Amino acid sequence: MPNDTTQDKVPEIAVRIPGTWSCPASLEKSLPAGYRLTPGWLHLPDGDRLQVFPHAPDDEFAGIFATACRGVLPASERRKIKRYGINVCIAGRGGSVEAAQRMMKAAAALVRAGGLGVFVDNSGTAHVGRDWLDLTGDPDDGATFPAFVASYANRGKLYSVGMHVLGLRDAVLPRTGDRDTDACVLSSFLLYTICCGEAVTDGDYIGDAEAPTHRVWGADCDFPPSGTPMHNPYGCWRLEVLDPKNDS
């Protein structure tokens, strides 16, 4: 099932926020009301808490962030990130839309406190601070999708990565050569699974009701590999392209 929530499969959500802070103490002083930092923990306004791991700056992260950023990272933002003071990783239990939204709000609090952007370890995607705040302020639950999910072309296929943050399977489909259409098919299907949860089953047809374009089958996740934050323990949906001459 797409929403397998057994204890051994529930993934961890991990994001990294490079900031202007010189040390964790300077971050604590800048946090919005209701948030509190203690050694190893970020305490949230509702009484919950997330793990915190501050890291000293290195020579690689700024380049990784720029490469992973959605859209083109402006030169001004790139310069800011190159000069970040500490890189704060926050981590917590994932596996549901609610958990993802909790992480979105916590990361937004750090952005408001001086964070320059958010890098999502679970999908290898990055967002500049203002974009993350825009997503967090979106009342539509669908904002969790662009915040945490990315797509990658690999071995002639297009893969989504990051749906395990929401407790759902990722998806993979053969590349047709039409990049925009492939991306649209993938994202439309994944957004449908977010809205409908367990409604998708093996052998379902998707696309136009009168002329379906794909059939879906559940499978184990083989990309990215297990043991990495990007691996989906729930598996994936494989989208099989139908022959228009024989679509049933």
Q: Are residues 72 and 163 in the same domain?
A: no
Structural domains of the chain, count: 2
Report yes or no: 105 and 138 within 8 Å, Cβ to Cβ. Answer: no
**Per-state percent for the chain, helix, strand, coil, to nearest 5:** 30, 30, 40
pLDDT of residue 119: 97
pLDDT at 6 over 70: no
Residues 20 and 139 in one domain: yes
pLDDT of 3? 41
Pair 60, 155 in one domain: no
Shared-domain flag, residues 182 and 115? no
Helices (H), 55-177: 61-68, 75-82, 97-112, 129-136, 144-148
Question: Residue range 41-51: average pLDDT?
Answer: 96
Q: What are the structure tokens assigned to 85, written together?
A: 């003071």
Note the pLDDT of residue 43.
Answer: 97
Mean pLDDT on 54-68: 93
Looking at 84, 111, 143, the residue that finishes a domain is 143
Q: What pLDDT score was predicted for residue 94? A: 96
pLDDT band at 154 (very low <50, low <70, confident <90, very high): confident
Evaluate whether residue 78 is within a structural domain: yes
Q: What is the mean pLDDT of residues 39-51?
A: 96
Question: Are 189 and 231 contained in the same domain?
Answer: yes
Q: Which of 143, 172, 195 is the last residue of a domain?
A: 143
- Residue 183, domain member (yes or no): yes
Of 78, 99, 100, 73, which is closest to residue 18 (Cα–Cα)?
78
* CA pair distance 17, 119, nearest whole angstrom: 6
Q: Are residues 131 and 157 in the same domain?
A: no
Query: For residue 90, what are the domain limits?
Result: 12-143
Please indicate, yes or no, whether residues 40 and 105 belong to a single structural domain of this protein: yes
- Asked which of 127, 143, 159 is the last residue of a domain, the reply is 143
SS3 16: strand
Task: List, as one string, the DSSP characters of 169-225.
Answer: -EEEEE--S-HHHHHHHHHHHHHHHHHHGGG--TT-EEE-SSSEEEEEEEE---SSP
Statement to judge: residues 95 and 189 lie in one domain:
no
| pLDDT at 230 > cutoff 80 | yes
Contact of 68 with 119, CB cutoff 8 Å: yes
**Per the domain annotation, does 104 fall within a domain?**
yes
81, 182: one domain: no
Task: Summarize the confidence of residues 43-64 as an average pLDDT.
Answer: 95
Looking at the fold, whether 104 and 202 belong to one and the same domain comes out as no
pLDDT greater than 70 at residue 102: yes
* pLDDT value for 70: 80
Q: Is residue 233 in a domain? A: yes
pLDDT at 183 over 80: yes
**214 neighbors 185 (Cβ within 8 angstroms):** yes
Pick from 4-13, 51-60, 80-89: least confident: 4-13
97 within 8 A of 166, measured Cβ to Cβ: yes
Q: Indicate whether 130 and 181 sit together in one domain.
A: no
Q: Does 248 have pLDDT greater than 90?
A: no
Residues 154 and 56 in one domain: no
The predicted structure's pLDDT at residue 198? 62
Q: Exposed, middle or buried, 22 (CB in 10 Å: 0-12/13-18/19+)?
A: exposed
